[in-house]
Amino acid sequence: MYNSAKNARIKYPTFADFNNASDKEIDEFLKVNRYRRRNYIDRVIQKIRKYNQFISEDVEFAYRFEAEYLCDLLFVINNRIKEIENEMNKITDNHRLGEVFKSLPGAGNVLACKLLGLFGDNKNRFSDYNGVQCLFGTAPKNYQSGMYHKVIMRKACSKSARAVLYKFAFSTLQFSSWAREYYDKQKTRGKTHSVAVRALSNKWVKVIYKLWKDEIFYDENKKILAAA
C-alpha cells in the first residue's frame, strides 16, 4: 500500500507485511492516508485479520512489482498537482480580484482560482448575469414543439465552466445556509441531486457576478443574497 507521508515508499509491499502490523500501526497508516471515519477503519482492519491469501511467490512478486510502479507514478502525479496548486494560490494572492473569489464559501484556493479564470478581469465582457449563466451553461433551456414543452440542460455552452460551477455549488452545501436550504427545497420538489446542484450553481452565478462586477467580498449576512 502507498504511504503518502513517507515520500512514496511502500510501507506494506506484501499482504504478509500488512497482516503482521499491529492494529495501532494500521490505524495510524490509514489516518495518514486520509481515512477519517472510525467505523470504516475498523472494518478495514477486520477484513485484513479475516483474509487468507493463497497465491504463489511468483504471482505475489508480479503484483508487488506492479504496485511499486503504480506508487511511483502516483508520487510524481501528486507532486505535480501540488506544484500546480501552489501556482494557483500565487495567482489568487497576487490578482486584485483574488480575494473576492477566495471570500466565497467553500471555494478554497483551487476553486477560487478556477472561478477567477472563468470570469477574468474584463468588466465589459458581460453586460448582465444572464449572459454569464448562458455562456457557462448553468441556465436551463426551454424546449418547445407545438403543445409540448420541457426544460432541458443547456448544451451550447462552456462544458468546463459548467463543471467548475457545479463543483463549487456542491461544496457550498457545507458552508452556506441559504445554499443548503435552496438545494433541500429542490430535492423536496422531486429534483434529482444533479439537477438540484445545477439549479444552485445558476443561483450562485448571480451572486458571483455581483461580487465580480462591484469587487466586493462575499458576506452570508449581507443583502448580497438578494441577488440569488
* pLDDT tens-place string over residues 86-107: 999 999 999 999 999 999 999 9
pLDDT at 83: 94
Same domain, 104 and 84: no
Place of cell 455581483: 210
Same-domain status, 178 and 196 = yes
**Both 75 and 147 in a single domain?**
no
For 166-189, give one letter per residue: b (16+ CB within 10 A) or e: bbbbbbbbeebeebeebbeebeee
Question: Looking at 92, 124, 157, which one is the last position of a domain?
Answer: 92
Cell of 15: 499482504
Whether residue 124 is found in the same domain as residue 218: yes
CA distance 111 to 45: 35
Residues 182 and 74 in one domain: no
Is pLDDT above 80 for 143? Answer: no
Label residue 55 exposed, middle or buried (CB < 10 Å: 0-12, 13-18, 19+): exposed
Least confident interval from 108-112, 142-146, 182-186: 142-146
DSSP 224: G
pTM value surpassing 0.75:
no
